[in-house]
Amino acid sequence: MIEHRRSERSGGFEQNSRYGDALVYLKTGCTLSSGSSLEWKRLNRVNVKYFSVCVILSPHGKNFSVCLASEDLMPRRQLQAPIDLEDVPGYRWKDGLLGPDEPDPVGHVRPTGSSPFLVLCDHAGRLIPKSLGSLGVSPADLARHIAYDIGALGVSERLSERLDAELIYQRYSRLVVDCNRPPHNPTAFVTLSDGTKIAGNLDLTVPAAAMRLSEIFHPYQARIEHVVRTRLAAKRPTVILTVHSFTPWHTDYPTPRPWHLGLLFNKDRRLADALAEELKMTDDLVVGFNQPYALEDESDYAVPVYAEHRGLLGIEFEIRQDVITEPADQIRWGDRLAGALTAALRRITPEII
């Protein structure tokens, strides 16, 4: 199918096939928020060989910045962090993804919290923009873990309360766009999840993907980026804590998952080790390192981008969803993990607790 679409807002966009061959060019005089304009002008009318996304990142006044998310055109490091987005307004296209009456993707709790921990919950919500219908997924499947991390927001809120920690979470379903994936990773827009076909993602066009990134992924990441930069500029200790949940069974993994809690890290295991010691001392839990899966730069976003690449302490919690399904259990887990986190951080860096 040949598609052709132009946008005066972005300065121009054409797509010739489902997975690429996109021609992207910038409007003359377009003001870019980062990088030299020379670098960006070289992107004019280039042929994108692989699946790629043109992202309209942020309007600055009447100007728009454009990022081409393509591995063959830009160094990956430039893809992983949004660009100068501190002042992104809650801008929405008139005919864009989110309607004016739909919630902001970003939830922000205790922005003045005193804790060194910054709590993130990427898969907190399961909203789907009205313009996308149900993505072709049944209501029963939209209530499953494939749409969001069951129980994770409740635990995050309790952690935030107990630690007096700032919490940033995302309200839209990961089936729309996965906010814990680099945008260039194919699983950012999943087409099959735990046996369920996501029909609305099967023939996703580049402009459609760009819109989801622009209105959900990037505003969320931009808020986190802004908060982390602001904290570091103020010399505030900052420890990244991301909260997720997983299922006891999954079609992609043949064996049951015995762990109550997974402590996920990539290169820096200091916090995971200290937490394991604390949890061993206080609880009868099955705790796994990098279970039920490993955390990697390629398949994860928050811990690599906000913690490890900056040399900050960080950890991803994966909690089995059946132990945090009920609100009372979420509170109990929030309390137990808050205590362990405080003690673990004291072991590592006593000066900041």
Binding site for Zn ion (CB under 5 A): 123, 149, 244
Q: Which is nearer to Zn ion, 166 or 300 (CB)?
A: 300
* Shortest distance (Å) from residue 173 CB to Zn ion: 11
Residue 177 CA to residue 235 CA, distance in Å, equals: 33
Question: Quick one: 149 or 157, whose CB is closer to Zn ion?
Answer: 149
Using the structure block, give the residue that is written with the tokens 């020379």: 38
Residue 25: closest CA among 1, 49, 46, 53: 46
Helices (H) and strands (E) in the chain, counts: 9, 14
List Cβ neighbours of 127 (8 Å cut-off, separation of 6 or more): 102, 103, 171, 172, 173
Q: How far is the CB of 151 from Zn ion (least distance, A)?
A: 11
Tell me how far, at minimum, the Cβ of 152 lies from Zn ion, in Å.
Answer: 7
Complex with Zn ion: residue 135 or 302, whichever CB lies closer: 302
Query: Is 260:323 a contact under the CB 8 Å cutoff?
Result: yes
Distance in Å, CB of 149 to Zn ion, minimum: 4
What beta strand segments (E) does 50-176 contain? 53-60, 63-69, 106-109, 117-121, 166-170
Which C-beta is closer to Zn ion: that of 123 or that of 218?
Answer: 123
Which two structure tokens, joined as six digits, stand for 34? 């980062």
Nearer to Zn ion, 67 or 152 (CB): 152
In the numeric block, the tokens 């705790």 are attached to: 287
CB of 346 to Zn ion, least distance (A): 28
Query: Whose Cβ is closer to Zn ion: residue 211's or residue 319's?
Result: 319
- Least Å distance, CB 254 to Zn ion, is 21
What's the N-to-C CA distance of the chain in angstroms? Answer: 58
- Tell me if residue 39 falls in helix, strand or coil: helix
Which residues on neighbouring strands pair with residue 15, listed in sequence order?
Answer: 22
Closer residue to Zn ion in complex, CB, 25/246 = 246
Identity of the amino acid at 146:
I
Amino acid at 120: L
Judged by beta carbon, residue 123 or residue 320, the one nearer Zn ion is 123
Nearest CA among 191, 187, 57, 73 for reference residue 136: 191
Taking the complex as a whole, the smallest distance from the CB of residue 124 to Zn ion amounts, in Å, to 9
Which residue is at the shortest CB distance from Zn ion?
244
- Can the peptide bond before residue 292 be classed as cis, meaning omega within 30 degrees of 0? yes
Q: Which residue is listed with tokens 């005193």? A: 114
Q: Minimum CB separation from Zn ion for residue 61, in Å? A: 36
